[in-house]
Structure 1
Amino acid sequence: MTLPVFFGCAFIAFGPAFALYLFTIATDPLRVIFLIAGKANEGLKSINPEDTAPSMRLLAYVSGLGFGIMSGVFSFVNILSNSLGPGTVGIHGDSPQFFLNSAFMTLVIIMLHVFWGVVFFDGCEKNKWYILLTVLLTHLVVSTQTFLSPHYEVTLVAAYIIMVLMGVWAFYVAGGSCRTLKFCLLCQDKDFLLYNQRSR
């Protein structure tokens, strides 16, 4: 039973991050460098030499994903290795869902780092300090929830609510709208490209 727990929790925690890497970053070597470096100042103009705003948004997304993966690995790798045994979780009255809850919390932390990165870069670019303060406060709230370790339902629900709100905020900061979301969901690439050209 230990191997299914190990692989199941690993896929829950790192599956979405791996999918984001595979579909949005792995095809471009410069993005891979940004992901590994976390921060990079040189080479922004090589992504889009005529417009710096999309470059900063792309850097925010890629570096946020890089920080999220690093944070997830450091916080979850020891727990994941313990899932291989020996021992039984919950034998002394602890929650038997410890590994599963930790995997879902790691997933939230990784995705939040992506959203925090996009929103934080936007706040820095526009010199809006309340945005930076909001990112720092939500980071503090999610981090301090780990002290409520026996009450996994409360911490996970609160963390997922914050993740959804920050995700919506990051989506609009990155230039998304209801119209572009509709084009994306309906796989209407031609209409999406025409809409982008007209909006410029």
Structure 2
Amino acid sequence: MTLMEFFGCTFIAFGPPFGLFVFTIARDPLRVIVLITSCFFWLLALLLSSILWSAVVPLKQHLAFGLVFSVLFQELFRFLFYKMLRKADEGLHKVSQQGQDQHVTPKDISNKHIMAYVSGLGFGIISGAFSLVNVLADMVGPGTIGIKGDSKYFFLASAFLTLCFVLLHTFWGIIFFNAFDKKRYVYVAVVVASHMLVSCLTLLNQKHNSQNYLGSIIPAYIVLVIMAGLAFYHAGGSIKNVKAACVFNRSNRYDTN
């Protein structure tokens, strides 16, 4: 039973991100490099958060203290990664201009939204891995959660929250990068505020009560839907484009029949 629970929660948390990686990133070496580099930047943010948490001894017992600064450090390193990518874009443009005769044009160079998506997914995957790996290790057994009065939904809630954060980081990356490109700094504040809000909602889960889990999961997924809409808008999407794509796909289907 514990093994079934382990695989079920693993697929819930990492199934959709794994699919995104396989179908949109794995075949492109440049995207893989950006993904791995973004993971490294998130690890640097975690390192600084850990150093601060260890240094401020009087507040080590307060989880909210470490959580707030962890969110701030993550967004700081998201910004640093954004600056690094934009500097790299300038170099790639020079390479592409010098190598036009040889058809040397780096892939994705003209679409900044793709790099924002890849970096956001990298942040999300490494964040999800660090938040759930230890839980998954305990999930295998022996025994199972709930024997000593704890909620039996702990593992399931952890899996759904991990998936939510992975997807949120992906959408936050798109919104964050585009906000700086277009100088719409209000959306940078939206990203930081929503990140802080969803992270603070997880503090409700300390009592391991199923009602507290719902109190954190439901608002988190509402924020996820809102961020998905904003990311779609910032990536250039619109309802008109969706309708046009649906009409195009329907006409192609009729043509093939």
Give the TM-score normalised by the residue count of structure 2. 0.68
Aligned positions of 1:46-195 closer than 5 A: 46-49=106-109, 51=110, 54=111, 56-149=112-205, 150=209, 151-182=212-243, 184=245, 188=249
Q: How has the CA–CA distance of structure 1 residues 182 and 114 changed in structure 2, closer, same or farther, with 3 Å as cutoff?
A: same
Match in the other structure for 2:52: none
Deviation of 1:96 after TM superposition, in Å, equals 0.2
Contact 1:108 1:160 in 2 (8 A): yes
Deviation of 1:120 after TM superposition, in Å, equals 0.5
Contact 1:68 1:113 in 2 (8 A): yes
Contact 1:3 1:84 in 2 (8 A): yes
Contact 2:2 2:139 in 1 (8 A): yes
Corresponding residue pairs, total: 187
Match in the other structure for 2:18: 18
Letter in 2 for 1:164: V
Q: Is 1:32 the equivalent of 2:32?
A: yes
- Give, in whole Å, the separation in 2 of the partners of 1:181 and 1:75: 35
- Give, in whole Å, the separation in 1 of the partners of 2:248 and 2:34: 28
Contact 2:13 2:163 in 1 (8 A): yes
- Give, in whole Å, the separation in 1 of the partners of 2:116 and 2:217: 25
Deviation of 1:7 after TM superposition, in Å, equals 0.6
Secondary structure of the 1:37 match is: helix
Deviation of 1:126 after TM superposition, in Å, equals 1.6
Letter in 2 for 1:161: I
Deviation of 1:2 after TM superposition, in Å, equals 1.1
Deviates more, 1:40-49 or 1:66-75: 40-49
Deviation of 1:92 after TM superposition, in Å, equals 2.1
- Give, in whole Å, the separation in 2 of the partners of 1:184 and 1:89: 47
Q: Which has the larger radius of gyration?
A: 2
- Give, in whole Å, the separation in 1 of the partners of 2:250 and 2:177: 27
- Give, in whole Å, the separation in 2 of the partners of 1:78 and 1:160: 23
- Give, in whole Å, the separation in 2 of the partners of 1:65 and 1:138: 17
Contact 1:183 1:189 in 2 (8 A): no
RMSD: 2.0
Deviation of 1:178 after TM superposition, in Å, equals 1.8
Contact 1:9 1:103 in 2 (8 A): yes
- Give, in whole Å, the separation in 1 of the partners of 2:33 and 2:251: 30
Deviation readout 1:51-84 (Å, 9 max, x if unpaired): 4xx2x21111000000100000000000011100
Q: How has the CA–CA distance of structure 1 residues 172 and 190 changed in structure 2, closer, same or farther, with 3 Å as cutoff?
A: farther
Contact 1:76 1:103 in 2 (8 A): yes
Identity across the alignment (%): 48
Deviation of 1:179 after TM superposition, in Å, equals 3.2
Letter in 1 for 2:137: S
Deviation readout 1:118-164 (Å, 9 max, x if unpaired): 00001111222211111001000111111100300111000000000
Give the TM-score normalised by the residue count of structure 1. 0.86
Q: How has the CA–CA distance of structure 1 residues 154 and 188 changed in structure 2, closer, same or farther, with 3 Å as cutoff?
A: same
Q: After the TM superposition, which segments of 4 or more aligned residues of structure 1 sit over 3 Å from their partners?
A: 182-187
